[in-house]
Chains A and B, each alone.
Chain A
Amino acid sequence: MGTAVSFHLYPGEGAPGSLHSALEKACEGLHRVEEVFSTWQPDSPVSRWRRGELAAESLPPEVGEVMALCEQAKRLSGGWFDPWSMPGGTDPTGLVKGWSVEAAASLLQAEGWRAGMVNGGGDLTVFGPPPQGAAWRIGVQHPWRPEGLACVLEVASGAVATSGTYQRGPHLVDPRTGRPAVAAASATVTGPSLALADALATALAVGGATVLDRIAALPGYEAYLIGPEGQESQTPGMPFG
Chain B
Amino acid sequence: MKRAITATVSTVAGFGVVLGMHTATARNALSSALKRAAAPAATTVPAAPAGGGAAAGASRAAAGPPAPSTTVPGGVHSAVGTAEQYGYGVLSVKVTVDGKRITDISLANLQTAESYSQMLAQQVVPMLRQEVLSAQTARVNGVSGATYTSEAYLISAQSALDHLHVP
Which A residues lie at the B interface, using CB under 8 A? 1-11, 19, 22-23, 26-27, 30-31, 34, 40, 97, 116-117, 119-124, 126, 130-132, 136-141, 143, 146-149, 152-153, 160-169, 171, 186, 188
Q: Which residues of A contact B130 (CB under 8 A)?
A: 141, 146-147
Q: Which residues of A contact B146 (CB under 8 A)?
A: 122, 141, 143, 162-168, 186
Q: Which residues of B contact A147 (CB under 8 A)?
A: 130, 133-134
Tell me, yes or no, whether B39 is within 8 Å of chain A by CB.
no
The answer to whether B141 and A141 have CB atoms under 8 Å apart is no
Query: Roughly how many angstroms separate A138 CA and B131 CA in the complex, as a whole number?
Result: 11
Q: For chain B, give the interface size range.
A: 35 or more
The answer to whether A152 and B138 have CB atoms under 8 Å apart is yes
Query: Roughly how many angstroms separate A119 CA and B133 CA in the complex, as a whole number?
Result: 17
Please, what's the 1-or-0 string for B126-160, where 1 marks a CB less than 8 Å from any CB in chain A?
A: 01001001110011111111111101011111111
5 A-B pairs with C-beta separation under 8 A: A4-B18, A34-B19, A147-B134, A162-B144, A164-B145
The answer to whether A149 and B156 have CB atoms under 8 Å apart is no
On whether A136 and B148 interact (CB within 8 A), knowing A27-B16, A121-B158, the answer reads no
Chain A residue at minimal CB-CB distance from B23? A27
Query: Roughly how many angstroms separate A11 CA and B156 CA in the complex, as a whole number?
Result: 29
Tell me, yes or no, whether B11 is within 8 Å of chain A by CB.
yes
Chain B residue at minimal CB-CB distance from A187? B146
Tell me, yes or no, whether B165 is within 8 Å of chain A by CB.
yes
The answer to whether A123 and B16 have CB atoms under 8 Å apart is no
The answer to whether B147 and A139 have CB atoms under 8 Å apart is no
Query: Roughly how many angstroms separate A27 CA and B16 CA in the complex, as a whole number?
Result: 7
The answer to whether A167 and B13 have CB atoms under 8 Å apart is no
A101 to chain B, nearest CB (A): 10
Query: Roughly how many angstroms separate A2 CA and B151 CA in the complex, as a whole number?
Result: 9
Query: Roughly how many angstroms separate A77 CA and B138 CA in the complex, as a whole number?
Result: 32
The answer to whether B16 and A139 have CB atoms under 8 Å apart is no
Query: Roughly how many angstroms separate A89 CA and B68 CA in the complex, as a whole number?
Result: 62
The answer to whether A171 and B18 have CB atoms under 8 Å apart is no
Tell me, yes or no, whether B115 is within 8 Å of chain A by CB.
no
Query: Roughly how many angstroms separate A131 CA and B143 CA in the complex, as a whole number?
Result: 15
The answer to whether A2 and B15 have CB atoms under 8 Å apart is no
Tell me, yes or no, whether B124 is within 8 Å of chain A by CB.
yes
On whether A19 and B13 interact (CB within 8 A), knowing A3-B149, A117-B142, A141-B144, the answer reads yes
**Which among A40, A149, A188 has the highest number of chain B CB atoms within 10 Å?**
A149
The answer to whether B14 and A4 have CB atoms under 8 Å apart is no
The answer to whether A137 and B18 have CB atoms under 8 Å apart is no
Q: Which of A2, A9, A97, A131 contacts B154 (CB 8 A)?
A: A2
Tell me, yes or no, whether B162 is within 8 Å of chain A by CB.
yes
A172 to chain B, nearest CB (A): 9
On whether A137 and B141 interact (CB within 8 A), knowing A2-B18, A34-B18, the answer reads yes
The answer to whether A124 and B151 have CB atoms under 8 Å apart is no
The answer to whether A149 and B162 have CB atoms under 8 Å apart is no
The answer to whether B13 and A23 have CB atoms under 8 Å apart is yes
Q: Which residues of A contact B149 (CB under 8 A)?
A: 2-3, 121, 167-168, 171
